[in-house]
Chain A
Amino acid sequence: MNGYRLGAIGIVITFFTIITATVLLPMVLFNPVPSGHGNKYVKSDVVNPARGRQIYVREGCFYCHTQFTRLQDRGYGPLVKAGDYVWETPHQLGTARTGPDLTNEGGRFPSEWQKAHLINPRAVKPGSIMPSFSHLSNRDMNDLVGYIQTLGNQRTVHAYVEAPAEYEQVYLPRKTVDTNSDAAANAGRGIYTQNCAACHGLEGEGNGPNSISLEKKPANFTRAFYKQYPDAFWFYRVSEGVAGTRMPRFNEILTEEERWYLVAYLKSLPQNQEIVIDKLDQLNKVGQVHLPKLTEQEWEPHSGGN
């Protein structure tokens, strides 16, 4: 027995180290703050969504439907955050998408449609392979539909998109740039020209040379509508981009201060009467004159310059 003591100790130490690192440490270090956008199961006279969630678990919906949107998913609504799941236990993230993602399903279809779909999926979605759940009692069915209708409702947009809470509470208070000053706007102009003009155009009219090839057209910042944008919302859009479009997430590229300068410039763009771009020749063009003239050595620095 003694010959194997070292081996046994090795196994025990290895295993407990791994458990500490991958099970216990996340419990200690990873405690997301509730984001305020998680699902809220408010009971009404008609339905009890919390009970509907139990039905969802009992009927094993999560084997085919996931509940997290990914960066690359299109048409499934806003991206989820760690804080959205604080009250979700057992988790229903799911592992396979034989059917669509349900993260933001609430409100996408009328409740009558959802009910008909549960009873006979192929009546409302020809070609669907979802099993019929006609065996559910009326109460189960109503609660389940009530649960489905709450999914993502805290994230759902009613009249307009709102920036997540941390933009008001975290980023805005520590803003170092006076976004209403001309000086800051001037500073932001250079950042705009470098990063935004290719799509949004040199004057922010949404007419950059890139715009012609984009499915979703870049925003035209001269619209009066943009005067309503609060600073935090501008900052959110610049930082996290716009899901479903080519608008990138500039928090990966620009520092916080640079983004605030950019916001200062963007705030100077909206006009009372928007400049409508409706002709091809209104697009900004890439002129040869704007290209820097490089010497042969600058083009091919490694060639030794002949």
Chain B
Amino acid sequence: MLLDAVLSNREGSAARNFILSAIWWSILGMGAGMLGGLEFSMPDLIHNIPQLSFPHLRMWHVNAVAIGWLSMGYVGAMYYMVPSLAKTKLWSERLGNFTMWAWNAVMVGAFCTLINGSTEGREYAELGAVLDVLVAIALVTIAANVYMTVVNRKVKKLYVSLWYFLGALFWFPLVYIIGQRTFVALPGLNDAIVGWFYGHNILGMWFTTVGVGMMYYLLPRLTNAPLYSHGLSMLGFWGIALFYAPTGTHHILQSPVPEWLKAIAVISSVFLLVPVLTVLTNFFMTMKGKWQQVVTDMPLRFAVTSCMFYLVTCTQGPFQATRWVNWYLHFTQWVVGHAHLALLGTFSFILTSAIYYGLPRITGRDWHSQGLIRAHYWLKFLGFLLMMLSLTIAGLIQSAGWAFGVPVDQWGLQIRPYWGLRAVSGVMIVLGQCIFAYNAFKSLYTPAAKAADAKTAEVKA
């Protein structure tokens, strides 16, 4: 039947489709990032093709990895985690699949518009009006689906992951609608204030909250250990809810926006150390006595790596947001490294862990190759470390250049080796992601597995 083919009602199909779409967009998104990185080293690599000039690749890269890879992957992960935590089925698989199509339509639209330079010209909010509305609709339907699943739950108590998921699905649609400024034209600096409220809260109220919720879900399951403390996890949740949202203005600390707004942003940024440290204490105490499992359990290794990067990124963040450090580091590649540490190091790793853990349980098919998982881990991990190192060093050189009044032409030459290293790291990461996609494809679509499909389809988490 056509309806079943397009909007499948099969259990777990929405989660599976979201995850597979996420993997697809991750390759296009990270690939664009890699190409952009190569252009820093070889500026004349691509000539006269406007679609592949760096600014267009950069727009597409950010939107593809944030809205495509991470967000779609997050929704896919929530679609299997929430029912499993609520001990019930997803409220509506059909609605879930509808959202999946809507979101993929957004991504196709984003691809066609952004690489042609059709943009609203607002960083992180580049998508045009039609796509904005579509994303908003998709977010609201996802929220409805998840909220209704939780309402129909078979257990009384809400596990902390659900707090995070439900919180994120309440906050993020609002943040998105406010932050896109689709139908308004605010005066310059007010535009910047709202823009950075959005730019920072897509991270704080969506990537962090859902990502940390996934860590809370995965770590106890992967280690077969109970969560160390429920009270501590609640403290972390409320800390994020209180201190994350007002931090946006720390992105424009040295522009002529009101000082009181900057003060609020800096203070809440520093206070963010509180939820971060409570969350990580909880994780590391849960891991106590289980660390050796990291050697053999690949999803756990991804998850623990993600927690380690979370520690680094969230100590870096408050440090950079203070005025004097920001004075020195702002405008440089250090910040780009920090952004990659959060989105690639932390949240991409936890999402990968969730996919490695979840996909076999949704589809009933084991991973095609454990060796490829290891290859993926090492390529992505080492590639990322190389990227972080090169961007941080490049950033420090740039900072010194700005602080001591060295002209751009001069420090520009000094950071060329680091652009080169960054390009190499990009190639490694994209290669890792391609291996991941190949592994997923082989696991799901090999003929041998197809024969066993009927029997294993019932196996679930």
Contact = CB atoms under 8 A, between A and B. Distances in A.
B117 A30 contact: no
Interface in B92-126: 117-123
B245 A29 contact: no
B241 A15 contact: yes
A58 B43 CA distance: 19
Given A18-B245, A135-B48, A62 B121 contact: yes
A128 B412 contact: yes
A21 to B, nearest CB: 6
Contact of A82 (B55, B151, B191, B256): B256
Contacts of A3: 156
Interface string B224-251: 0000000000000010011001101101
Interface string A1-43: 1011001001110110011011100110111100000000000
A106 to B, nearest CB: 17
Given A1-B151, A57-B121, A125 B409 contact: yes
Contacts of A97: 331-332, 398, 402, 408
B417 interface: no
B54 A96 contact: no
Interface stretch (A64-72, A147-155, A276-284, A296-304): A64-72
A59 B191 contact: no
A91 interface: yes
A91 B195 contact: yes
Contacts of A15: 170-171, 174, 241, 245
A29 B258 contact: yes
A23 B178 contact: yes
B70 interface: no
Interface in B234-274: 238, 241-242, 245-246, 248-249, 251-252, 254-258, 261, 264-265
A85 B186 CA distance: 11
Contacts, number: 188
Contacts of B148: none
Given A60-B117, A80-B256, A87-B187, A72 B171 contact: no
Contacts of B335: 95-96
Interface in B169-192: 170-171, 174, 178, 181, 185-192
A7 B234 CA distance: 11
A58 B156 CA distance: 52
Nearest to B171: A15
A58 to B, nearest CB: 4
A75 B402 CA distance: 11
Interface in A87-129: 87-100, 121-122, 125, 127-129
B186 A89 contact: yes
B333 interface: yes
A127 B119 contact: no
B88 to A, nearest CB: 14
A226 interface: no
Contacts of A18: 242, 245-246
B49 interface: yes
A73 B412 contact: no
A86 interface: yes
A63 interface: yes
A3 B195 CA distance: 36
Given A90-B120, A128-B412, A132-B47, A27 B190 contact: yes
B400 interface: no
B4 interface: no
B289 interface: no
Contacts of A7: 163
A212 B187 CA distance: 46
A66 B331 contact: yes
Nearest to B54: A131
Contact of A26 (B58, B170, B188, B193): B193
A41 to B, nearest CB: 14
Nearest to B47: A132
A82 B398 contact: no
A187 interface: no
B413 interface: yes
B39 interface: yes
A23 B121 contact: no
Contacts of B188: 85-89, 91, 93
B16 interface: no
Contact of A19 (B178, B187, B407, B408): B178
A116 to B, nearest CB: 15
B336 interface: yes
A90 B199 CA distance: 14
A132 B46 CA distance: 9
Interface string A130-169: 1111110000000000000000000000000000000000
A216 interface: no
B59 interface: yes
Contact of A72 (B50, B170, B187, B327): B327
B392 interface: no
A23 B197 contact: yes
A63 B190 contact: no
A84 B123 CA distance: 20
Contacts of A32: 187, 189, 256
A29 B190 CA distance: 11
A183 interface: no
B419 interface: yes
Nearest to B247: A22
A22 B55 contact: no
A246 interface: no
A96 B333 contact: yes
Contacts of B158: 4
A209 B356 CA distance: 71
B220 interface: no
Given A11-B167, A74-B405, A93 B255 contact: yes
A131 B163 CA distance: 46
B56 A134 contact: no
A19 B119 contact: no
B6 interface: no
B55 A59 contact: yes
Closest 4 CB pairs of A and B: A60-B55, A85-B188, A57-B121, A88-B188
Given A72-B402, A89-B186, 16 more contacts: A23-B193, A23-B197, A26-B258, A30-B193, A30-B257, A30-B261, A62-B121, A64-B55, A89-B191, A90-B195, A91-B189, A93-B192, A96-B331, A96-B335, A127-B409, A127-B412
17 contacts: A11-B167, A22-B261, A26-B193, A30-B258, A59-B117, A63-B55, A63-B58, A85-B189, A90-B120, A90-B185, A90-B195, A93-B255, A96-B335, A100-B408, A125-B409, A129-B419, A132-B43
